[in-house]
């Protein structure tokens, strides 16, 4: 019996037009990336179009280099970035062991070929959790949590104060379950930080990559 048939049996009428079944949640690795200072006054619309094209090329090439098929991932444009939901069959450690280094390499290639307003520095958030589907897209508290991590001043300030091109913030769960058990993920390069954004107060772990990735940082 379908949910609509069950509704008719229980209530003797068709369900409301706006009623939609809630799909069973599906587990995903959640990767969100955005361009630092995308809306800064020194950038024109043409600059931003170049930045967006560069972002997609960088992320797609990084995923391909790490064995992650772009077409297998759900992705949605954020204007200044992109949200990617990666199927559970891909090992999560790929995103802490391989993806940051690949992003850094392709970022350097892009930046060497462009003048300052079109050069890219990236903020990235790593999390994992359950995601629900509906006719309009994807949602879930895990996605909200990933965005809160990316919005944290502590990670934005860390990148702004560094000479690097990439800042990665991992959720407490991702760090404790994946990164700290993976020497190739370089857990020693992550620093614990307190994240306070809107209603969210949690712990995250920040890693800087690039020119000054190995330097110590004060909070």
98-126: b (≥16 Cβ within 10 Å) or e:
bbbbbbbebbeebbeeeeeebbbbbbbbb
The domain limits of the chain are: 29-210
- Residue pLDDT, tens place only, 148-207: 999 999 999 999 998 899 999 999 999 999 999 999 999 999 999 999 888 888 899 999
1 CB-side CA count, 13 A = 8
Residue 135 — very low, low, confident or very high, per pLDDT cuts 50/70/90?
A: confident
The pLDDT tens digits of the residues spanning 41-90 come to 999 999 999 999 999 999 999 999 999 999 999 999 999 999 999 999 99
What is the topology classification, in CATH, of domain 29-210? Answer: Alpha-Beta Plaits (3.30.70)
């Amino acid at each position: 019996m379908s949910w609509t048939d069950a509704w008719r049996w229980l209530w003797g009428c068709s369900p409301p037009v706006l009623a939609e079944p809630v799909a069973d949640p599906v587990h995903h690795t959640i990767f969100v990336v955005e361009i630092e200072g995308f809306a800064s006054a020194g950038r024109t619309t043409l600059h931003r179009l170049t930045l967006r094209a560069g972002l997609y090329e960088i992320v797609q090439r990084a995923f391909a280099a790490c064995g992650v098929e772009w077409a297998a991932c759900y992705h949605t444009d954020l204007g200044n970035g992109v949200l990617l939901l990666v199927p559970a069959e891909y090992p999560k450690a790929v995103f802490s062991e391989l993806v940051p280094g690949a992003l850094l390499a392709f970022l350097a290639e892009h930046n060497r070929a462009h003048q300052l307003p079109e050069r890219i520095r990236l903020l990235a958030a790593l999390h994992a959790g359950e995601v629900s589907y509906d006719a309009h897209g994807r949602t879930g508290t895990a996605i909200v949590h990933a965005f809160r991590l990316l919005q944290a001043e502590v990670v934005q300030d860390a990148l702004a104060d560094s000479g690097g091109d990439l800042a990665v913030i991992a959720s407490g769960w991702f760090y404790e379950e994946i990164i700290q058990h993976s020497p190739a993920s370089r857990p020693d390069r992550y620093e614990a930080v307190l994240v306070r954004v809107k209603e969210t107060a949690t712990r995250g772990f920040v890693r800087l990559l690039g020119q000054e990735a190995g330097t110590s940082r004060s909070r």
